[in-house]
Chain A
Amino acid sequence: MVVASLIFIILLLLQVPISFVLGITTIIYILLSGNAGLLATAPQRLYSGLENYGLLAIPLFMMAGELMNSGGITKRLIDFSKTLVGHFRGGLAYVNVISNMLLASIIGSATAQIAMMSKVMVPSMEKEGYSREFSASTTAAAGLLGPIIPPSMLFIIYGVASGASIGDMFLAGITPGILLGVAFALLIAYVGFKQQWPTHQRAPFVAVGKSFFNVIPALLVPIIIIAGILSGAFTPTESAAVACVVALIVGVMYKELKWKHIPYIMINTAVSTATITMLIAMANLFGWMLSFEQIPQSIATWMTSLTDNPWVFLFIVNIFLLIVGMFMDGIAALIILVPVFAPLLASYGIDPIHFGIIICINLTIGLLTPPVGAGLYIASALSNVKLELLTKAILPFLAVSIATLFVITYWPQMVLWIPNALK
């Protein structure tokens, strides 16, 4: 176990792809533990970790994101938010949050969203005089809304791993998502007031009307998705495919999407999908080894021996997950940890949907915590801000996110009222 952990860390630091780090560690562990017979079944296990209907949403959300960027949908969502809140003190920072909320109702992944928005938002904020670190950190933080406001890849993965209803998870994500968005807005208002940012002219009514008119087709994407899911036309997983088709049509309507874009979109989709799904395949191999050794059970037993109180238990879990999130990718952690915690919930009387929201938000925050934080890397690379500077700039956003996480943890009704109301 110690040797395997050491190898794990060394490989990580050597810049070996994280998915392969998981695979190599698993294989070395199996060899060391003398169960070499298990290795013969490794490729099969690698394969069948992917044979999962819920995972289909991943490439399709990626594709939808690419189509929306190429088709001018993202740009129009931002223009529209600008005419709404652009005139407030710190206007563009709010635009960033609101555009991310709109985008989040279409896209299901934080990293996809951070990548999309870093390219568009950071340069325009910088042009208006915001520091680049602040612009990049606002974009990265607001991107966290992606998997919290439905639809959400993380919720789908949680549903698949725990057996909880994905539809309920989607509904339960709405209030926490809005709460987090509002919390970010409050932080921006506070910073803006302290630093005395300038205010701008309100957009003339004609301009508001025009940009609203322009954004209608773009807003059709989330409307069609939500209406389609609620009316039973399609399942949440299928909604990702519908999002692509609608984004394709809208992009053509805007006359921005061209045939020649399509091959690039598909190739980018393949590569960005694989960075996640390869990780899932390898994490499955890793998790399978843990199951064989019954390690999740021993961790779970140890955790439950600490307390009988559900609130204390949730506190410990949150701290534990925040630490895990610092070092591990959220999706991989979700896949490995859900089977550990899911069986414990009943004895503590914790609702699996509530717990799902907690674990997903917690691990999403991990995207922005160093040393391992995909969201942080993407924002830093795409907006050209040194990682150290970005990390410093993002601390207030992290503090707000963690505070929101604890509100959500200790106020289950806030999470559960929508799914319960619709039952």
Chain B
Amino acid sequence: MKKKLGPKGRYTTVSIPVTLYERIKNLINDTGFSSVSQFVIYVLREIASNMEEEKISSSLTDEEKNEIIERLKKLGYI
């Protein structure tokens, strides 16, 4: 895996089928994406972010939540 430090940060190379590359290249005409790489980064970040979100659960216990609710009542928020 090659890694290089460009003016905008660190990048590495991944391979995708040429047919898919061509398909995306046609798809992104007039969409605001200036390259296939830009499109691929956009899509992968969105998918990665969604997958990460699914793994996260709430970190507060019921007791902690109740303490906060009592404080919010005292402050007049509830």
* A complexed with B: no
Binding site for A on B (CB under 8 A): none
